[in-house]
A and B are shown apart, each in its own frame.
Chain A
Amino acid sequence: MQNQQSTPKLELRNITKWFGPKDTGVCAVDNCSLAVQKGEFICVVGPSGCGKSTLMTVGAGLEQPTEGEILVDGKPAGPPGPQRSVVFQKFALFPSETVAQNIKFGLQMCGVDAKEQERRLVEQLKIMKLEQFRDAYPSELSGGMQQRVAIARSLVMQPEILLMDEPFGALDAQTRTILQEEVQRLHREHHYTVLFITHSVEEAVYLGDRVIVMSRRPGRIKKEISLPRDVVWKRGDIEVAAEHPDFIAARREIWALVREEIIAQ
């Protein structure tokens, strides 16, 4: 019991993904393995087009890997579902549904009763500061607000695993900073297991317990960097954190690795 190695919450084992026929198509991901422990926040960085999104869609079960397997709690993961919730770069909100309907969508699909739906909706609206936008349509919201709705729609499912694909990539700098801090806080309070994809090294250093650097296409795992967990500077604002020597050192190290790949492209 004491010596038992804990099974990762989510494991991608020897994943290879070809688009089109093998050998003549595009190899987006080449033999990537990565394990996310329960409650861990993992960030994946890499040059544009290196296969980060592919890794995530495969991890979510939305695409089948050409080779390799996805395990949740050590068992084959099967089709996509609310247990592995996804936040997409382009929000992917349902345009015909209001904020409240979007957030309740997954609960309705899973047969949660109406009272519980309402309770969890109200809770999420509060967490994400969306109370006034309850009956607005996504087209009436700013990008930052839309991404809050998308995050709320994922969190309301109380997912065991949260997959986020450059969730803040499309947002302006101020909104991004605020949401980064919010996600940091949520993770600290609720211990979500998160696989977070980004091309921002700062974001990865601020949010991640571990940062995985991917090579240029076909994406391989180039290096894994463990960052200090539960340190004081991660609890504060991102600008404050960014001045901490540990942050600066980590950012420099990771950026050097990413730069190598970009230059070699």
Chain B
Amino acid sequence: MTSNKVAFVGAGATLLWVAIWAWLTREGGPVSELFFPSPGDVLDRLIMFWSRPYIGSTLMGHILSSLSIVLAGWVLGGIVGVPLGIAMAWWTRLKWIVFPIFQLIRPVPPLAWIPLTLLWIGIGDAARIFVVFIAALVPWVMNSMHAVYSVDKLLIDAGRTLGANDRKILTRIVIRSAIPTLLAGARIALGNAWTTLVAAELLAATAGLGYVALNASRMLDTDVLVVAMLLIGLLGVMLSALMGLAARMFAPWVKNDRNGG
């Protein structure tokens, strides 16, 4: 299918889903508004809290709070994770020093760090940034490591016969050919960071979309709850799309379908 057709089908399907939602939640319909609001109610709430504060700040304020914490944790994860992953692949000894810790951390859900974090740094932004950092760090490191491993040894041989020294081989051949995999890792890290943050906000926060959702559910305010969930989903899609865009910008040699949309 051409990209035009894809966009057309996608838009059509979205409309259809909204229509089904509206039909199910219509007045006297099969789903009562107590359990799930109609699209109209959700839109009302969205517009209302866009300008008026809800538990402390407007929706925009909550969104910015969530996004800034995600970005901070994700960027920190990248700053630590990318060099670490590359170094682990390049120096086998380092890999075997660090790897055992990693294997141990990997299966622990990032949220399990919350109790410790609360103990160490309390309930503020720093605590959430730390948990997001942990969530992003693992995919950053793993993908950076595999990105280096997946570079064809033949390219290194070619570089050597063309006079490249070790440093040039690392920077110009290994890291550059690894960029697509690095970007794929960045995308996974961002996805992990986002879902972890929202969950962290459900447990320990004073602002953010997860916090809004938690409050709304305590008040049995399903309208606001669904608004928050919808925004969480939409922002997740947006972040992922931005990463796809970044991939196309920073790795233009990769065929488009691999970068995704």
The reply to whether B163 and A109 form a contact with Cβ atoms under 8 Å apart is: yes
- Hey, which chain B residues are within 8 Å of A95, CB to CB? 177, 253
Bound Cα distance from A105 to B155, whole angstroms: 12
- Hey, which chain A residues are within 8 Å of B251, CB to CB? 96
- The answer, yes or no, to whether B179 is at the interface (CB within 8 Å) is yes
- The answer, yes or no, to whether B119 is at the interface (CB within 8 Å) is no
A67 to chain B, nearest CB (A): 22
- The answer, yes or no, to whether A85 is at the interface (CB within 8 Å) is yes
Bound Cα distance from A173 to B189, whole angstroms: 47
Given A94-B176, A96-B179, do A88 and B154 touch, yes or no (CB 8 Å)? yes
The reply to whether B177 and A96 form a contact with Cβ atoms under 8 Å apart is: yes
The size of the chain A interface, using a CB distance under 8 A, is 28
- Hey, which chain A residues are within 8 Å of B155, CB to CB? 92, 94
Taking a contact as CB atoms closer than 8 A, the residue among B152, B161, B254 that contacts A82 in the complex is B161
Bound Cα distance from A82 to B161, whole angstroms: 5
The reply to whether A96 and B160 form a contact with Cβ atoms under 8 Å apart is: no
- The answer, yes or no, to whether B157 is at the interface (CB within 8 Å) is yes
- The answer, yes or no, to whether B252 is at the interface (CB within 8 Å) is yes
- Hey, which chain B residues are within 8 Å of A79, CB to CB? 160
B184 to chain A, nearest CB (A): 15
- Interface secondary structure of A, over-half rule: loop
Given A96-B253, A137-B253, do A62 and B162 touch, yes or no (CB 8 Å)? no
- The answer, yes or no, to whether B55 is at the interface (CB within 8 Å) is no
Chain B residues 196 to 253 lying within 8 A of chain A, measured CB to CB, are 251-253
The reply to whether B157 and A92 form a contact with Cβ atoms under 8 Å apart is: yes
Given A62-B157, A88-B158, do A139 and B255 touch, yes or no (CB 8 Å)? yes
- The answer, yes or no, to whether A55 is at the interface (CB within 8 Å) is no
The reply to whether B168 and A86 form a contact with Cβ atoms under 8 Å apart is: no
Which residue of chain B is the closest to A62 with respect to CB atoms? B157
Q: Interface range on chain B: under 10, 10 to 19, 20 to 34, or 35 or more?
A: 20 to 34
Taking a contact as CB atoms closer than 8 A, the residue among A57, A96, A138, A153 that contacts B162 in the complex is A153
- The answer, yes or no, to whether B173 is at the interface (CB within 8 Å) is yes
> Could you give, for residues 168-181 of chain B, a 1 whenever the CB lies within 8 Å of some chain A CB and a 0 otherwise?
10001100110100
The reply to whether A62 and B160 form a contact with Cβ atoms under 8 Å apart is: yes
- The answer, yes or no, to whether B60 is at the interface (CB within 8 Å) is no
A164 to chain B, nearest CB (A): 12
Bound Cα distance from A96 to B252, whole angstroms: 8
- The answer, yes or no, to whether B71 is at the interface (CB within 8 Å) is no
- Hey, which chain B residues are within 8 Å of A90, CB to CB? 154
The reply to whether B176 and A97 form a contact with Cβ atoms under 8 Å apart is: yes
Bound Cα distance from A90 to B152, whole angstroms: 11
Interface centre among B162, B165, B168 (most CB of A within 10 A): B162
Which residue of chain A is the closest to B162 with respect to CB atoms? A106
The reply to whether B161 and A86 form a contact with Cβ atoms under 8 Å apart is: yes
Bound Cα distance from A84 to B158, whole angstroms: 11
- Hey, which chain B residues are within 8 Å of A105, CB to CB? 159, 162, 164, 172
Bound Cα distance from A137 to B256, whole angstroms: 13
A151 to chain B, nearest CB (A): 13
In the A-B complex, the 4 residue pairs with the smallest Cβ-Cβ separation, listed nearest first, are: A106-B162, A137-B253, A92-B158, A109-B163
Known: A81-B160, A95-B253. 17 other contacts (CB 8 A): A60-B161, A62-B157, A79-B160, A82-B162, A84-B161, A85-B161, A85-B162, A88-B157, A92-B158, A94-B177, A96-B177, A96-B251, A96-B253, A106-B162, A109-B159, A139-B255, A153-B162
